[in-house]
Structure 1
Amino acid sequence: MAVKHILMIAGDFVEDYEIMVPFQILLMVGHKVDVVSPEKKAGEKIATAIHDFEGHQTYTEKPGHNFMLNATYSNVQADDYDALVIPGGRAPEHLGTNESVLNLVRAFANANKPIAAICHGPQLLAAANVISGRKVSAYPACRAEIIVAGAQYQAIAIDGAVTDGKLVTAPAWPAHPAWMSQFLKVLGSKIEA
Structure 2
Amino acid sequence: MAPCKKVLMLCGDYMEDYEAAVPFYALAAFGVAVDCVAPGKKPPGDACLTAVHEFLGHDLYTELPGHRFAVTADFAAAAAADASRYDALVVPGGRFVERLSVDPLAVSLVAAFAGETATRRRPVVVTCHSQLLLAAAGAMRGVRCTAFFSMRRVVELAGGRWVEPDPLGLCVADGNVLSAIRWPAHGEIIRELLRAMGARVAGGRGQAVLFLCADQFARGRRGLPRRAACPTKRKGEACVTAIYDATPAAASDERRGHNFAVTADWGDVDADRYACVVVPGGRAPELLATRGEAVALVREFAGKGKVVASIDQATSSSPRRGSSTAGAARAASRRGWSPASPARRASGTVARSPTGSS
The correspondence of residues 129-140 of structure 1 with structure 2, limited to 5 A, is 129-140=138-149
Q: Residue by residue, what CA displacement relative to the aligned partner does 1:103-132 show, whole Å, maximum 9, x if unpaired?
A: 111011122111111111111111111110
Supply the AA of the counterpart residue of 2:62: T
Task: Select the residue among 72, 79, 83 that pairs with 2:84.
Answer: 79
Give the Å deviation of 1:2.
5.6
Supply the AA of the counterpart residue of 2:193: F
Q: Give 5+ residue unaligned stretches, structure 2.
A: 203-335, 337-358
Q: Residue by residue, what CA displacement relative to the aligned partner does 1:16-63 show, whole Å, maximum 9, x if unpaired?
A: 110011100111111110000012112211111000133432211100
Task: Select the residue among 116, 133, 153 that pairs with 2:162.
Answer: 153
Supply the AA of the counterpart residue of 1:5: K
- How many angstroms apart in 2 are the aligned matches of 1:66 and 1:119? 20
Q: 1:65: which partner in 2?
A: 67
- How many angstroms apart in 2 are the aligned matches of 1:175 and 1:117? 11
What secondary structure is seen at the aligned counterpart in 2 of 1:84?
A: strand
- State whether residues 191 and 201 of structure 2, in contact with CA within 8 Å, keep that contact through their aligned partners in structure 1: no
Task: Count residues in correspondence.
Answer: 193
- State whether residues 46 and 69 of structure 1, in contact with CA within 8 Å, keep that contact through their aligned partners in structure 2: yes
Q: 1:37: which partner in 2?
A: 38
- How many angstroms apart in 2 are the aligned matches of 1:98 and 1:49? 21
The correspondence of residues 90-105 of structure 1 with structure 2, limited to 5 A, is 90-105=95-110
Supply the AA of the counterpart residue of 2:111: R
Supply the AA of the counterpart residue of 2:151: C
Of structures 1 and 2, the larger Rg is shown by: 2
Give the Å deviation of 1:191.
4.1
Find out whether 1:186 has 2:196 as its counterpart: yes
User: TM-score, normalized by length of structure 1?
Assistant: 0.95
- How many angstroms apart in 2 are the aligned matches of 1:2 and 1:172? 31
What secondary structure is seen at the aligned counterpart in 1 of 2:68?
A: strand
State the identity as a percent.
Answer: 38
Give the Å deviation of 1:3.
2.8
Q: Quickly say closer, same or farther: Cα 1:128–1:162, change in 2 above 3 A.
A: same
Q: Residue by residue, what CA displacement relative to the aligned partner does 1:75-124 show, whole Å, maximum 9, x if unpaired?
A: 11213211101100111111111001101110111221111111111111
Structure 1's consecutive aligned runs of 4 or more residues displaced over 6 angstroms after TM superposition are none
Supply the AA of the counterpart residue of 1:41: K
Higher mean alpha-carbon deviation, 177-186 vs 166-175, is at 177-186
Q: Quickly say closer, same or farther: Cα 1:2–1:189, change in 2 above 3 A.
A: farther
Supply the AA of the counterpart residue of 2:6: H
- State whether residues 88 and 120 of structure 1, in contact with CA within 8 Å, keep that contact through their aligned partners in structure 2: yes
C-alpha RMSD of the superposition: 1.4
Q: Quickly say closer, same or farther: Cα 1:185–1:53, change in 2 above 3 A.
A: farther
Supply the AA of the counterpart residue of 1:27: A
User: TM-score, normalized by length of structure 2?
Assistant: 0.52
Q: Residue by residue, what CA displacement relative to the aligned partner does 1:154-190 show, whole Å, maximum 9, x if unpaired?
A: 1122111000012111111111112222222212222
